[in-house]
Every structure is written in structure tokens, then in C-alpha cells.
Amino acid sequence: MTSKERFDLTINHKQPDKLVVDFGSTAVTGIHVLAVENLRRHYGLEYKPVRVIEPYQMLGEVDQELIAAIGIDVIGAWGRNNMFGIYNQQPFKEFETFWGQKVLMPEGFHTSYDNNGDLLIYPEGDLTVAPSARMPKASYFTDAIIRQELIEEDKLDPIDNLEEFGLVSEVELAFWKNATQKARATGKAVIAGLGGTALGDIALIPGIQMKHPKGIRDITEWYMSTIMRPDYVTAIFDRQIEIAIENFRRLHEVIGDNIDAVFICGTDFGTQDSTFCAPEQFDELWLPYYRRINDWMHANTNWKSFKHSCGAVESFMSRFIEAGFDIINPVQIAAKGMEAAHLKKTYGKNLVFWGGGIDTQKTLPYKTPEQVREEVLSLCDIFAKDGGFVFNTVHNIQANVPVENIVAMVDAIKEFNGDNR
């Protein structure tokens, strides 16, 4: 079977010949740039600076050489700009990180340092405006800088929180057409984050790509607004989804079947032990909008719908199904109520589990390679039956995970597949 054939069976809950494997296709299934370099060294690939494909989390590009070495079946079609609104294609320049790694950044990635020596990052790379993110010198990724203006209740206008949502341009349409054609030509399954459909994702609320964000841009204030200002939030969501559906219509005309899945939303609803909101609030505030975008997509395209939510979201699984999501990620198996066998038995006929292949909080970074192997094989036994499982870790692989543990995970996947690639 080809990767695409294997994926098509898996996503439709049919048993493929082997596990479908993803590392690096999205901003929530990726590998930190340092771990990518360590993997390249392990597999004997020629040294080259690794491209940072997503600078907010410092995720590295998993290129065709590493795709072949690991045995990956899914690739991502990435957008024209990165999360800072910077053109994310060639030409690139070398950039040295705090940990001494030389990486490739887009030419427009301009930075400075504050008095503590922390790295400051700017929206659209514009050094004349206030920075929108900071990378502490002891860190391996960045934090948003909250630039919340004074909130005057009588002047709040939902349009301010819609500034980043607009109709897709002809330039962007041409870019997506080319990017998805190239991705499809690899013979892999393809997933894309087309943008504009994330409802209240706190990674996006601060507007790190915007020079002067208006509206509610403080994360704490946004969470409070879902209770204090529900009409304001629903007004944003209502217009946002209208724009998103029109954009999907335009994008589908140029993309067609060159993608298989769309990363719809990364809004987290779970903590380690519970949920951020009651299920009833999800039903009122989020579910109708998710259903609108998913219903349109299923009625007009062959694309599958990918939802990311960390945490203990077992009580939301039936709601994700009702909202029309085909895929759930990252499947945080160590969170309360998220036992693998229960999830598979209860929801496995309706949801594809994309992730959950190994715990990234305790097992992958801290246990032995043999313990990594045992956990991978055990979880694959549970999740892989009757399809509906794309192997990935529980969220991104972080910087200092021992490379021998990552390799033990990859080798366990190959062992499960009976594959000596």
C-alpha cells in the first residue's frame, strides 16, 4: 500500500496493512528543531541547518530525507506566512539559538534583545513596533507578550477581534494551489491548516502577527469574556465562521482533492484533571459554529476535519462527534478519564485518534528506551485495531528528549508494522 492508500483506509475506520505515521505535519504534531537535528545526526544524514517551520514553538521541518528514514505517511501543506505574519518561504538566513544551534529562519525574521538578554520577536518582523513575543534566554520556545489596551466596556466592538480574519487573497489562493499540488505529488497523505477557523484558541488570541491588536487580547480576559461577555464572543464567532466558509469555498476551487484533512481548531478544552468549561457551555458557545464549518466541509469537499484539544476531554468526545469532527488530537492518555482502551471502545467507531501513541510528559523524555518501546507497542495494540489511528505522540516532541528514546519509539512503530525500513 502507498501512504495515501493506507491513510484513506485508516481515516475511514478500516484496517490498513500498517500504521499510518505522522511526525511534523502540523503545529501540534511536530518536532522541536533541536530534536530534528539530533535525529538527522542519528540517521547519518548530511549536516545542514534545520529550517524552523513554526517559530512560536520552534518546530523544525521534517524534510524528505527524515521522512524516509522514519517512515512517515502524512505531510503538511503549510501556509504562506508564519504565526508572526512573516513570509515563511525562501530566502532563508542562518540564526543562532540560545542553545547554540544554527537554524534557518525566513529573511524577514527580525529580532532584538532586552536588558535581560531575552530574545524579542516582532509582528511581521517590524522592528519599529512593539515586540509581540519573547524567548527567555533559558527557554527553547517563545511566549506571547500581552499587548492588551485599556478595555472600555461601552466601546467594545467585536470587529476589533476580527481584524485578522479576512477573505483570502488571490496571492494566497495561488500559493495554496502550488503548495498543495507539491504536497500531493509526494504520494503521502496531506493535511493543511488553512486558517481562520480557530475559535478562541489562546495561542492566537494575543495576535502576535498583528502590529496593533485591538479588542480582547489578554488570555485571562478572554477566558473571563466567555462568561462575562458571551454575546461579544458569539458575535465574533458568527462573523468568523461566515468568512471561513467563504474562504473554504474559494480555496476548494483551487485545492480540490490535493489535501485529505484540515486542521480546523486548536482551542484547548481540557486541563490535566478536568475541563475549562462545562459541557453545557461548549454546547452553547462552540458547538454550533464547529458544526457549521464541518457541515459545509463535509457537504462540499472530501476533506476530513481535525480538532486539537489537550487535556481531560473525555466528557467532550461525544460533543466533538456531534460537532462533525472526524479526527481528535493529541489524545492525552495520561489525563484524567483518557484511558486508551476506554476511548477506543467508546468513541473509536466515530473518531480517528491522531496521537496518543506515547505519553510525552513522563515516558518519552524520562524513561528508558525499553520502557518507551513497551508503551508504544501496548498503545498501538489498543488504538490500531480496525483503523482509525494515526500514530503520533501526545503533542509535539520537545527539545531535550533523548534521541535514543525518540529512536526507540520509531523502532517500536516499525516493529509493530513488521517493517524494517
* Domain annotation covers residue 111: no
User: Is pLDDT above 70 for 420?
Assistant: no
**pLDDT tens digit string along 138-157?**
999 999 999 999 999 999 99
d(CA 300, CA 294): 10
175 within some domain:
yes
Q: Would residue 286 count as lying in a domain?
A: yes
- Please check whether residue 365 lies inside any domain of the structure: yes
* Per-residue pLDDT tens over the stretch 385-399: 999 999 999 999 999
Give the whole-angstrom CA distance, residue 366 versus residue 363. 6
Closest among 394, 192, 393, 396 to 306, alpha carbons compared: 192
Phi, psi (deg, nearest 5) at residue 137: -65, -15
As given in the structure block, the three cell numbers for residue 304 are: 476530513
Quote the domain boundaries for residue 29: 3-47+59-84+147-417
Q: How does strand 143-144 pair with strand 261-265?
A: unpaired
Query: 308 pairs with which residues across the strands?
Result: 329
Res 357 pLDDT > 60: yes
Task: For residue 421, name the pLDDT band (cuts at 50, 70, 90).
Answer: very low
Beta strands 111-113; 119-121: pairing state: antiparallel
CATH of the domain at 72: 3.20.20.210
Task: Report d(CA 352, CA 319) in Å as an integer.
Answer: 14
Report how many domains make up the chain: 1
**Which residues, 6+ apart, have CB-to-CB distance to 15 below 8 Å?**
9, 385, 386, 387
Radius of gyration of the chain (CA): 21
Task: State how far the Cα of 391 lies from the Cα of 353, in Å rounded to an integer.
Answer: 8
Grid cell, residue 42, equals 542519528
Q: Would the CA dihedral through 55, 105, 329, 177 be positive or negative?
A: positive
Helix (H, G, I), strand (E, B) or coil at 351: coil
pTM over 0.95: yes
Strand partners, 107: none
341 located within any domain: yes
161 Cβ contact list (under 8 Å, min separation 6): 214, 215, 216, 236
Residue 332 falls inside a structural domain: yes
Taking only the tens place, the pLDDT of each residue in 177-204 is 999 999 999 999 999 999 999 999 999 9
Sign of the torsion formed by the C-alpha atoms of 99, 102, 103 and 105: positive
Measured in residues, the chain has a length of: 421
Instruction: Evaluate if residue 250 carries a pLDDT over 70.
Output: yes
pLDDT of residue 419: 81
Q: For 82-126, how does the pLDDT look when each residue is reduced to its tens digit (9 = 90+)?
A: 999 999 999 999 999 999 999 999 999 999 999 999 999 999 999
Beta-carbon contacts of residue 143 (< 8 Å; ≥ 6 apart): 133, 134, 135, 136
In terms of Cα–Cα distance, which of 327, 308, 370 is closest to 11? 327
136 within domain boundaries: no
Interatomic CA distance for residues 53 and 302, integer angstroms: 27
